[in-house]
Structure 1
Amino acid sequence: MSELNTIKTALQHLHASPNAISFFLTSYKLSRSSVGLIAKTAKMDRSSAYIAYEQLKELGLMEEETVGRRKVVWTREPKAVIARLRTEIRRMRRQVESIEEAMPELLAQYGSRNDRPVLQVFTGNDGLHQIKNDILSGSGFELLLMSNFREEAEVFSREEHDSFIQQRLSQNITLRLIATDSLEARKIQSSDAKNHRETLVIEGDAPFNNETYIYGNKVAMLSFNEQTGVIGFIIQSKEFADAQRWMFEQIWKQLNTSNKT
């Protein structure tokens, strides 16, 4: 009967066990009966039947009466199931309200957990592509980059370099670039406007040889040597990213000041 299927679904929502549901539905059909008869009709052993009965009684869905030395049990009317569901709904609503009240503290604890530094190391071309994808997906609206283009040529091919620029532009990510002095850096600087980029060049000896990307709460570094090939890592840490961003800004201000004098 479809009506009993409705009751079955309601009992499932009340977290009644399969045996308890079978006991209830069998008792519903038999009306006033002994636990033993219900167990036999439901093809359930007596100990399982008594456990199921006790669960239903705790839910307030069974009645019982002792007639002589014999205990008779029966299901309460369907309204009792509705009443129990409403009680469960009120309990769940209170739980939702409690979580909502505690949400600021819960989010703060969740955020502090995510502030623990996480280091990922990547090697080879596959690792390079993983780092590139992470940079593009986590940069928001601005990416900061410190680059030595002589070394960068050992990491990125020309095709990969141009592809990175096109993907960055398609995602409306602007770039501020601090580059060591070279012909390639000057060439890059000359095309800043059309590539949503601003480049400042450090004149003189190169103070760094690797590529450093600062984005969101992450810092990615890439380097190349003949023994290890391409190697890079990503550090996810707000404190570390903020420190690297501060150092970038100090260098940026100094270069801007030098260019104006």
Structure 2
Amino acid sequence: MSTISHALSQFGLTHNQSNVYLALLELGEAKTQDIAKRAKILRTTAYEVLEQLKAIGLATVSYRKGVRVYIGESPKKLDQLLDAKKKTIHDVLPELESLYNISGFKPKMRYYEGIEGYKTVYGDTLNVTSKRLYAILSMQDLLDTVGENYMDGYIQRRISAGIHLSVIRSETKDIKPIWPDDPKYLRMLRYAPSGFIFPLTMYIYDNKVSLMSSKHENFGMIIESHEFMETQKALFDVLWSASAKSA
């Protein structure tokens, strides 16, 4: 590829568009068949490409004695078109910046409401790549929201996926003798010190922290941020050390 063709390609022209535009510059003005011959493409293809260049602003149409001819625009038009593109991007740059979201620089946050929202958040925890979940869990509030049947199904899916759970619960919120500390369920359970009552459930995994509120506030949330996850995991580890193993 020649330097000129490469430059036109970088500008955004296709291979055929570049060849036809160069043919136009060389011929000055010409009929479609002459342009096709110079660009070494079919006449029908040349017509399509000429119309594309016309739409871009690099070709115009004129008539000589009733014959349709095409005229190539000055190469300075490329500069004008480039300036127009830059202005278009500049005008939407603030909106693009607001969408700029790269892991490690800006956290991602997703908010959900209602029962389906809780289930969406729970479903995301099953995508954990490390196969390790760390949770602070409120049994009473989970039974009041998604219910025991859903949780039983979720637990089976977690076990089938080989995902281990380290969980801290409040004995005050454990209203039923279920979900014990048991290797069979890939679950390690500890009870928080007296006085620790958790109104919501939190899962820590990969670079995420998921939250599920009580029925009163009715929301679920997934926060994807390495720094936030690291902070919550450090706090979890402190509480885990201070919590008692289940009997």
Same fold (TM over 0.5): yes
- Using the alignment, how far apart are the partners of 1:203 and 1:113 within structure 2? 35
- Using the alignment, how far apart are the partners of 2:203 and 2:190 within structure 1? 15
- The match for 2:230 among 242, 247, 260 is 242
Q: What is the aligned partner in structure 2 of residue 221 from structure 1?
A: 211
Q: What is the aligned partner in structure 1 of residue 147 from structure 2?
A: 157
Deviation at 1:21, TM superposition (A): 4.6
- Using the alignment, how far apart are the partners of 1:19 and 1:111 within structure 2? 35
Larger Rg: 1
Q: What is the aligned partner in structure 2 of residue 255 from structure 1?
A: 243
Q: What is the aligned partner in structure 2 of residue 20 from structure 1?
A: 19
Gaps of 5+ in 1: 1-11, 25-33, 52-109
Cα separation, partners in 2 of 1:156 and 1:18, compared to 1, 3 Å:
same
Q: Are 2:186 and 1:187 equivalent residues in the alignment?
A: no
Cα separation, partners in 2 of 1:21 and 1:152, compared to 1, 3 Å:
same
Partner secondary structure for residue 224 of structure 1: coil
Deviation at 1:131, TM superposition (A): 0.8
CA contact (8 A) 1:185 1:201 kept: no
Partner secondary structure for residue 20 of structure 1: helix
Spell out structure 1 runs of 4+ moving beyond 4 A.
21-24, 110-113, 182-186
CA contact (8 A) 1:22 1:42 kept: no
Give CA deviations for 1:192-219 in whole Å, capped at 9, x if unaligned: 2211110011253343211011111111
Cα separation, partners in 2 of 1:148 and 1:203, compared to 1, 3 Å:
same
Deviation at 1:111, TM superposition (A): 9.7
CA contact (8 A) 2:191 2:246 kept: no
- Normalised to the residue count of structure 2, the TM-score between the two structures is 0.60
- Using the alignment, how far apart are the partners of 2:219 and 2:70 within structure 1? 67
- Normalised to the residue count of structure 1, the TM-score between the two structures is 0.57
Q: What is the aligned partner in structure 1 of residue 197 from structure 2?
A: 207
Cα separation, partners in 2 of 1:197 and 1:247, compared to 1, 3 Å:
same
Q: What is the aligned partner in structure 1 of residue 69 from structure 2?
A: 45
- Using the alignment, how far apart are the partners of 1:141 and 1:178 within structure 2? 18
CA contact (8 A) 1:213 1:219 kept: yes
Partner secondary structure for residue 209 of structure 1: coil
- Using the alignment, how far apart are the partners of 1:233 and 1:115 within structure 2? 19
Deviation at 1:184, TM superposition (A): 4.6
Partner secondary structure for residue 136 of structure 2: strand
- Using the alignment, how far apart are the partners of 1:156 and 1:184 within structure 2? 15
Give CA deviations for 1:27-56 in whole Å, capped at 9, x if unaligned: xxxxxxx947963634772523998xxxxx
- Using the alignment, how far apart are the partners of 2:131 and 2:17 within structure 1? 54
Q: Are 2:232 and 1:233 equivalent residues in the alignment?
A: no
Gaps of 5+ in 2: 1-8, 36-67, 76-99
The residue type paired with residue 242 of structure 1 is E
- Using the alignment, how far apart are the partners of 1:194 and 1:131 within structure 2? 24
RMSD: 3.7
CA contact (8 A) 2:30 2:69 kept: no
Aligned pair count?
A: 181
- Using the alignment, how far apart are the partners of 1:19 and 1:217 within structure 2? 46
Cα separation, partners in 2 of 1:164 and 1:139, compared to 1, 3 Å:
farther
Give CA deviations for 1:61-94 in whole Å, capped at 9, x if unaligned: xxxxxxxxxxxxxxxxxxxxxxxxxxxxxxxxxx
Deviation at 1:23, TM superposition (A): 8.3
Looking at secondary structure, tell me which structure has more helix per residue: 1
CA contact (8 A) 1:223 1:231 kept: yes
Q: What is the aligned partner in structure 2 of residue 167 from structure 1?
A: 157
